[in-house]
């Protein structure tokens, strides 16, 4: 099959592209290299089943051409990472909404199937953990810029569901929860690559706040396998699905695990997130998905443990440092 992957040079995108090529498919990528990089795709950059267009998803004419040629579209391109979102309040909304609308419009025009990646950020400050897909969106005030991202992604979902209903567009919406693994950059705030790099350089491991906040971390390879399985399920079209691990861990425990596995001399320190972020930051206390829907649909259970993931990320950073 011929796939179009938007954001295919990014962390998750590049793993998805790699797997699609491995399975014998042809993959075209559009990426503006804002957070993605050529380094991420270096192992298949010269593969004859891979081609890359360096451009933005705001360029509708180019997008139309690419969508027209594809059999299926994976839409991953977005402004991501809390740090980047806070530093780019306009792009976080314009690229994430207008860009996604462009994809949906082009897919509807040529009647192409599409999978759209959304985010657990959508649940915001909802306290009813674990979150099922029909849980309420509870977001904070507009002066906390972080919520602009959740709002933009929520609009994407509304648009996609609207296209499904009104234009018959075959679309799947997947809400990703804290996906981690090799190639994830430490530059945009994400906790695991930051902790690993801090541990490997014997710098302080910076836990924000009390460290009692929780997240569930899943290996990018588990995510990519699931995405590819999902597109083969007719029942998935028109649905919103959570995808991630359901094993909740506090950020303090995560810091301790990283320190122990690396054998680092780093101190674990508790800092105010304002050291890294500006005023627009607000944290979420607990985040965990209810994954029964995706389990039922494709039998999803993560294969990799958090320890496996930490070791792999450590290996990745060790080679680079």
Distance separating alpha carbons of residues 293 and 173, to the nearest angstrom: 13
DSSP notation for 80-103:
-SHHHHHH-TTHHHHIIIIIHHHH
Q: Supply angle C-alpha 34, 38, 40, rounded to 5.
A: 95
Selected binder of ligand UDP within 151, 152, 190, 200 (CB under 6 A): 190
**148 touching ligand UDP, by CB under 6 A:** no
Segment near ligand UDP (CB under 6 A); pick from 160-168, 185-193, 228-236, 308-316: 185-193
**191 touching ligand UDP, by CB under 6 A:** yes
Selected binder of ligand UDP within 47, 126, 213, 292 (CB under 6 A): 213
Nearest to ligand UDP of 194, 221 (CB atom): 194
Map tokens 């590819």 to a residue: 228
Distant-in-sequence, close-in-space partners of 9: CB < 8 Å, separation ≥ 6: 29, 31, 33, 36, 37, 38, 40, 41, 52
Segment near ligand UDP (CB under 6 A); pick from 153-161, 205-213, 225-233, 240-248: 205-213
Segment near ligand UDP (CB under 6 A); pick from 151-159, 160-168, 208-216, 293-301: 208-216
Q: 238 burial class (0-12, 13-18, 19+ CB within 10 angstroms)?
A: middle
**154 touching ligand UDP, by CB under 6 A:** no
The active-site residue, picked from 26, 60, 123, 149, is: 149
Question: In the annotation, is 60 catalytic?
Answer: no
Ramachandran angles phi, psi of 7, nearest 5°? 75, 30
Which positions from 49 through 108 interact with ligand UDP, judged by CB under 6 A?
82
Smallest separation, CB 279 to ligand UDP (Å): 15
Selected binder of ligand UDP within 15, 194, 197, 286 (CB under 6 A): 194
Smallest separation, CB 189 to ligand UDP (Å): 4
| CA-wise closest residue to 178 among 168, 194, 192, 196 | 192
Distant-in-sequence, close-in-space partners of 55: CB < 8 Å, separation ≥ 6: 30, 32, 62
Nearest to ligand UDP of 3, 149 (CB atom): 149
| CA-wise closest residue to 123 among 286, 272, 275, 268 | 286
Segment near ligand UDP (CB under 6 A); pick from 11-19, 108-116, 168-176, 189-197: 189-197
**178 touching ligand UDP, by CB under 6 A:** yes
Q: 290 burial class (0-12, 13-18, 19+ CB within 10 angstroms)?
A: middle
DSSP secondary structure code for residue 235 in this structure: G
Selected binder of ligand UDP within 246, 283, 290, 308 (CB under 6 A): 283
**273 touching ligand UDP, by CB under 6 A:** yes
**189 touching ligand UDP, by CB under 6 A:** yes
Catalytic positions, written as ranges: 149
Q: Which residues contact ligand UDP (rule: CB under 6 A)?
A: 82, 178, 189-191, 194, 206-208, 213, 215, 251, 273, 283, 287
């Amino acid at each position: 099959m011929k796939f179009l992957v938007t954001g295919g040079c990014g962390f998750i995108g590049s793993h998805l592209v790699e797997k699609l090529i491995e399975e014998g498919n042809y993959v075209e990528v559009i990426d503006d290299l804002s957070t993605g990089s050529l380094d991420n795709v270096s192992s298949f950059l010269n593969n004859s089943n891979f081609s890359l267009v360096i451009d933005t998803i705001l360029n509708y004419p180019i997008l139309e051409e690419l969508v027209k040629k594809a059999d299926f579209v994976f839409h991953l391109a977005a402004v991501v990472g809390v740090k980047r979102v806070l530093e780019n309040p306009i792009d976080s909304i314009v690229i994430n909404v207008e860009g996604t609308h462009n994809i949906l419009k082009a897919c509807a025009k040529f009647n192409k199937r599409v999978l759209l990646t959304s985010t657990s950020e959508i649940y915001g400050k909802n306290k009813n953990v674990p979150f099922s897909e029909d849980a309420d969106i509870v977001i904070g005030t507009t002066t906390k810029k972080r919520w602009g991202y959740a709002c933009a992604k929520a609009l994407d979902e509304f648009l996609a569901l609207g296209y499904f209903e009104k234009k018959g567009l075959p679309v799947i919406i997947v809400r990703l929860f804290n996906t981690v693994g090799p190639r994830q950059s430490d530059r945009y705030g994400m906790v695991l690559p930051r902790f690993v790099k801090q541990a490997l350089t014997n710098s302080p491991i910076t836990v924000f706040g009390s460290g009692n906040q929780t997240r569930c971390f899943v290996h990018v390879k588990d995510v990519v396998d699931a995405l590819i399985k999902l597109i083969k399920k007719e029942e998935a079209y028109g649905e919103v699905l959570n995808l991630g691990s359901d094993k909740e861990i506090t950020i303090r425990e995560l810091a301790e695990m990283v320190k122990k596995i690396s054998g680092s001399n780093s101190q674990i320190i508790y800092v105010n997130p304002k050291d890294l972020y500006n005023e627009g930051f607000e944290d979420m206390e607990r985040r965990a998905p209810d994954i029964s829907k995706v389990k039922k649909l494709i039998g999803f259970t993560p294969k990799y443990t958090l320890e496996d993931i930490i070791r792999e990320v450590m290996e990745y950073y060790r080679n680079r440092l």
